[in-house]
Amino acid sequence: MTEKLVLAYSGGLDTSVAVRWLAVERGYQVIALTVDVGIGRDSAALEERALAAGAVAFRWVDARDDFIRYFAFPALAAGALYQGRYPLATALARPLIAKLMVDVAREEGAQAVSHGCTGKGNDQVRFDVSVQALAPDLRIVAPLREWDLRTREAEIEYAQKHNIPVPVTKESSYSVDENLWGRAIESGPLEDPWVEPPEEAFAWTRPVARTPEEPCYVEIGFQRGLPVSLDGADLDGVSLVQRLNELAGEHGIGRIDHLEDRLVGIKSREGYEAPAAVTLLAAHQALEQMTLSKSQLRLKASIAQEYAELIYNGLWFTGHHQDLASYIQSTQRHVTGTVRMRLHKGQATAVGTKSPRSLYAIALATYEKGDQYDQSAAEGFIHIWGLPVRVQAQAQLLAQPGDALRIAAPEQAAEE
Ligand code: ARG
């Protein structure tokens, strides 16, 4: 009996060629599974293309709500940015797609799963590690790691030879992945890090030169760290993110040009568009600045980095993740309030913040009437704060000859 295999199918060049290759070269009954995480594609067209390429069945899962609820918003609450730049859209979707591949494989009684990732990227790691965690018995077949169609041209020729409908010409040189949290653009002209990303690479954001002259203001409401409203109107997560992608994209917000370190050791030039993610991250950070203490902010910033690495590195289904997520969730219990964002000329800037749980006390901060801060108490505080400084200065700093200005250049001082 021929074995069944579930292929994560995007309808792009790689997975369209993979359908036929898996069916003909490997003899599987291929079930093409498309997971809609906000991919902006039409299911009927994809179904037709998958079946034409040789799939025995096509499955479509609308996972947009799960993606926002269980992946994108937790990453937002964490403040996760890989290498301080990338909001992790692609990386966040992979474990969800892997989970759904496993679910569909169980429903269909499949023995194997497959994806269209190359052997040089991060996505193969995220898919494989997630599938291995959830379903160690399933075989993983990665055609791009095995076949000898080494270039896009070779794939296109294979497609043409076997009458596989693919949406590309030899000219379309970018590799694009998109979901609600962002759009990733790779290859083609971007491979030269000296070349400015061409305008044609972008689809969600306007170039700053063509954005409105007038700023746009939007008020984002948060409940316990989760965005729940725009301009006072309650919105579900998917609609809120879609709306912000349009609004902030109009103003050229969220274009990112990044020379990124892949998990597999390669430095890679990546372009991103993430208007909603960038705007929400800035708004959320402003609200945390108002509702978290200094020490909470400090530890949380390092947890955010750890969390971003974990997502990037494909370690979603781990105990380490559960532990970090518990901490992050706990930090969000008072992150409730509203942030007014100004969207203008490529920048999303928090210009107003309010919260029923604010730690900002005007009576302490003001230089006007009504000041409740006791300035005379500052003297005693400084006396104790500076105590070890005075002791050390007397015992060591002033006991040595030389200029106190040189404290930061010791080896220079030692040469003389
Ligand atoms: N470098 C990003 C990541 O590893 C994006 C990868 C996008 N994939 C693509 N086919 N363009 O998460």
**Is residue 313 lining ligand 1, measured as CB closer than 6 Å?**
no
143 and 248 belong to one structural domain: no
Residues in a beta bridge with 179: 182
d(CA 263, ligand 1 centre) in Å: 11
Q: What is the pTM of this model?
A: 0.94
Nearest ligand 1 atom to alpha carbon 185:
11
Show the DSSP H helices in 109-151 as ranges: 123-134, 143-146
Nearest ligand 1 atom to alpha carbon 174:
11
Q: What residues act catalytically?
A: 14, 94, 123, 175
The distance from CA 61 to its chain's CA centroid, rounded to whole angstroms, is: 21
pLDDT at 406: 78
List, for residues 120-144, the tens digit of each pLDDT value: 999 999 999 999 999 999 999 999 9
List, for residues 9-67, the tens digit of each pLDDT value: 999 889 999 999 999 999 999 999 999 999 888 999 999 999 999 999 999 999 999 99
Our CA angle for 399, 404, 409, nearest 5°, is 115
303 and 387 belong to one structural domain: no
**Is residue 13 lining ligand 1, measured as CB closer than 6 Å?**
no
Q: Is residue 71 part of a domain?
A: no
User: How far, in Å, are 9, 34, 70, 240, 283 from residue 134 at the CA level?
Assistant: 20, 19, 17, 31, 35
**Is residue 133 lining ligand 1, measured as CB closer than 6 Å?**
no
Q: Is residue 75 part of a domain?
A: no
Cβ neighbour number for residue 198 with a 10 Å cutoff: 12
Nearest ligand 1 atom to alpha carbon 121:
4
Q: Using pLDDT thresholds of 50, 70 and 90, give the confidence band for residue 407.
A: confident
pLDDT at 117: 96
**Is residue 186 lining ligand 1, measured as CB closer than 6 Å?**
yes
237 and 321 belong to one structural domain: yes
Number of domains making up the chain: 3
* Average pLDDT of the segment spanning 290-315: 98
195 and 302 belong to one structural domain: yes
166 and 184 belong to one structural domain: no
Look at 1-5, 104-108, 295-299, 410-414 and tell me which has the smallest mean pLDDT. Answer: 410-414
Residues in a beta bridge with 33: 8, 59
Q: Is residue 74 part of a domain?
A: no
CA–CA dist 104, 140 (Å, integer): 14
The distance from CA 369 to its chain's CA centroid, rounded to whole angstroms, is: 45
264 and 282 belong to one structural domain: yes
List, for residues 368-387, the tens digit of each pLDDT value: 888 899 999 999 999 999 99
Position 55, amino acid: A
d(CA 184, ligand 1 centre) in Å: 6
Q: Of the candidates 170, 201, 226, which is a domain's last residue?
A: 170
CA–CA dist 281, 18 (Å, integer): 37
pLDDT at 238 over 80: yes
User: How far, in Å, are 39, 269, 281 from residue 276 at the CA level?
Assistant: 15, 22, 8
d(CA 177, ligand 1 centre) in Å: 7
Ligand 1 atom 1 nearest Cα:
270
393 and 349 belong to one structural domain: no
Q: Using pLDDT thresholds of 50, 70 and 90, give the confidence band for residue 168.
A: low
pLDDT at 40: 86
153 and 182 belong to one structural domain: no
pLDDT at 412: 55
User: How far, in Å, are 38, 167, 233, 325, 395 from residue 74 at the CA level?
Assistant: 17, 34, 22, 8, 51
306 and 349 belong to one structural domain: yes
Ligand 1 atom 4 nearest Cα:
122
20 and 110 belong to one structural domain: yes
Q: Using pLDDT thresholds of 50, 70 and 90, give the confidence band for residue 169.
A: low
Calculate the average pLDDT of the chain: 95
Share of the chain above pLDDT 70, in %: 97
**Is residue 117 lining ligand 1, measured as CB closer than 6 Å?**
no
Which strand (E) or helix (H) includes residue 128? Answer: helix 123-134
260 and 143 belong to one structural domain: no
pLDDT at 317 over 90: yes
pLDDT at 167: 72
236 and 309 belong to one structural domain: yes
CA–CA dist 202, 191 (Å, integer): 15
Q: Which domain holds residue 206?
A: 178-362
